[in-house]
Structure 1
């Protein structure tokens, strides 16, 4: 084949770097629009979420949640008994959900939607050019960075020799450690504390703050801490790790209090960094290893001609798989429109603007109890200078909750913008609370007036009746 033929073969309309959920969704949208699309992946097609994050973590958490649900209802409790989950069966089920860390199915899907796959490490090599090993790819319209993020392990004395877990090891481990120390009280720390304690590990959760889940409503963190303690987790707030030591056996975790924790494994759940190092960003005037700023159509700012996009974690807008997939749908539509010479109006809430990233990001934390939130917390509304009112209600006092579980404990809050009496945010904490979230997401996204929410009648007797109680409280109780 001639050099000209090779060059033509390696010229695509769209080059996507990273075949996780965000990259797959961008490629699906652009290929469906008739654009020749290639996706480059250095690891497994399906990315972090499929093999080391969302899917395996929920597979680890669900069996214990199902058992707790049975034990919370008289009549089922006697059948469920007091035996723990079968750890070996849980790990085997986890393995099945990740395809035993093989990506054959994901690769077949790419082929079915007409997207070419190139295996290897991709680097930018100037405008619209990507190098993968000996191959040089050129994009007519767009290059899309979908490389995700990686766990950050702080530089501490002895940390390398301690061989710490990150989220990858925590979701992929083949054995249950007898003792597990977890550093960090965010979502990963809280969920992995719940998961591994349910599998029989003695878990110690070490965190700098007063409670887990510091970015959520304070009552959410308090209820999760109570749930973890009831599950046998040693929750230690207000402590920092100063160093680690390990020989051939356990790891010793030194604390600033002067105490120490001995564990068989230590997991650091202390934040994420963008996987943009060694990506060649410097060849297009950007800083290597940096988060990438984007506009609402997901184009990277500061790059001439608007050919570079960034979708998902590396743009630091919302490090959640579902939000990255949402961004991918927006970016795919924008790329296709621009390639066709059509106007792209990125007005808020339009088809080419990822507006929900700013106003309506939903999230569920699969602890016991579950935490579900969308939009602004009361603290975030305060920080944004909004005139708001936070309305609270005991979720366990709703009839549907009492039927759902004996002794149901939970809390709900809606945050109302007093300027126009529309929802800014909502948080629900309790067993199965994640199933309440989408109604709140719609209300926040659509900016539904409180007066109209009165006409959204919750079915009786479901836990969704919490909406009626929140609205009654907003109407009947004067603002403080």
Structure 2
């Protein structure tokens, strides 16, 4: 590219979400001159359209629900949520969709930022098209890390542009509560947004192509979420789908992802596959994620545009030689969670630094640990009412993979700490144990406040802690964590009766 301005760095990171920020932080701390390229807001999906705003919407909803059964607060539970206050709280957590604070953090960390769309242009080369339309060529001495994440995968409905559906972005950034919201999907985004918007005053219809919600979690947990959604007024249509959808009337809706408003003059007419019809003000398509690699220049390094990027346990892209190209976070499809992406970023940053400084890596040791963290002990919380917290294998996964497990169940409401948490506590815990090694292989908790139980389960699985050793980790009384003691007692009783 003769005449194109060129700059050289040790490391180029494409994408300034939490993953890209963490890669850059680690390489910069190791003394490598690092630049981050970002086309949108510094802070990425998690900060503005996913984790932070969605949980800011959901926390007041869950706290309000938990007032039922707490003496002295029942009357407050009967009062509706102040939707405008909740949305204002959400806006604050999304920093009003202003990334000045994140940019300041990059600057303090000594990380360079170039705004614009970055594309690979060959080995260790990245072109950036700036917002002004200028072209800049960046070259890396050591590494390029792709941290571009994912975007919503939309179903093949006709005239999608005219339909103006919500994706997860619009669902977490909408400025008003729609009177009627239809959601297509059965996964985490679908159930969390159904929980939030129903509580804020929308009439929600959830259209699930599957026979049940949350197909990747234990059935008992999904059933508890389904029951509670129905109790709250959500209309759930299982084994269904959308045959067609048309937006009727005019709308002043702003299609920008950080500002969605609703107009009573516009509505969506949805025809389901059974011929029935639903009328909604907004339609949320929560049907999965796709890698943001379609316009990344993958073809310049022998890869297929639009594909997921497969990596080894050092997060080096396997199909590209030379150990210079890394794919970190959701884009590698190993574990699509922000916390896992940040973990990967810490590993990748350390690997890049070690290779750049020609320090030896204990590949076998690292691979074992990374493999455990990214495949065996991946924690997830679904922030519904009730919460679902899980890590490791589920019963269905164990059956599918042929892994023998001892299944241990306990009703969390029978634990003193849960009964004190709220009257009529409904929740369930399951622990899966390897019958030969007597270590925990999986754990799922469903109930109010169970998210904070998850890290202990993750430690038990990642650390391969024998059950006999877990007996000596004493839970405080009276807390919900005492369910661990009850699970261990149940496992002991089951073992002695076999």
Report the TM range for the smaller structure's normalisation: over 0.9
Rounded to whole Å, the distance in 2 between the matches of 1:12 and 1:333 is: 17
* Structure 2 partner of 1:165: 166
Whole-angstrom CA distance in 2 between matches of 1:349 and 1:70: 46
Deviations 1:387-445 (A, max 9, x none): 21111111111111000011000010011111201111100000011011010010011
| Equivalence for 2:37 | 40
Deviation at 1:70, TM superposition (A): 2.4
1:232 Cα deviation after fit: 1.1
C-alpha contact 1:333 1:352 (8 A) present in aligned 2: no
Please tell me whether the aligned partners of residues 346 and 353 of structure 1 are also in contact (alpha carbons under 8 angstroms): no
User: RMSD value over aligned CA atoms?
Assistant: 1.6
1:303: which partner in 2? 320
SS in structure 2 at match of 1:401 = helix
Query: For the residues of structure 2 that align with 1:384 and 1:348, how far apart are their CA atoms?
Result: 25
Q: What is the Cα deviation at residue 346 of structure 1?
A: 2.6
Instruction: Tell me the number of residue pairs that the alignment of Structure 1 and Structure 2 aligns.
Output: 475
Alignment of 1:58-457 (within 5 A): 58-78=55-75, 80-133=76-129, 134-248=135-249, 249-348=266-365, 353=370, 355-457=372-474
The answer to whether the 8 A contact 1:296-1:352 is kept is: no
In structure 1, list runs of 5 or more residues that go unmatched.
Answer: none
Aligned-pair CA distance for 1:351: 9.5
List gaps (5 residues or longer) in structure 2: 130-134, 250-265
Which structure 1 residue ranges, 4+ long, deviate > 6 Å from structure 2? none
Higher mean displacement: 222-231 or 159-168: 159-168
Residues 1:81 and 1:225: Cα distance change in structure 2 (over 3 Å)? closer
State the Cα distance separating 1:158 from its structure 2 match: 4.2
Is the contact between residue 64 and residue 77 of structure 2 (CA under 8 Å) also seen in structure 1?
Answer: no
The separation in 1 between residues aligned to 2:331 and 2:417, in whole angstroms, is 41
Q: Which range is displaced more, 90-99 or 28-37?
A: 90-99
* Aligned partners of 1:348 and 1:355 also within 8 Å: no
Q: Is the 8 A contact 1:312 1:318 kept in 2?
A: yes
Partners of 2:332 and 2:325 in 1: how far apart? 12
Q: 2 CA distance for matches of 1:305 and 1:417?
A: 40
Question: Could you tell me how far 1:239 is from its partner in structure 2?
Answer: 0.7
* Deviation at residue 305 of structure 1 after TM alignment: 0.6
TM-score (norm: length of structure 2)? 0.93
| Residue number in structure 1 paired with 2:252 | none
Partner SS for 1:227: helix
Is 1:55 paired with 2:23?
no
**How far, CA to CA, are the matches of 1:111 and 1:160 in structure 2?**
38
Q: CA deviation at 1:353?
A: 3.5
**Alpha-carbon offset, residue 81 of structure 1:** 4.5
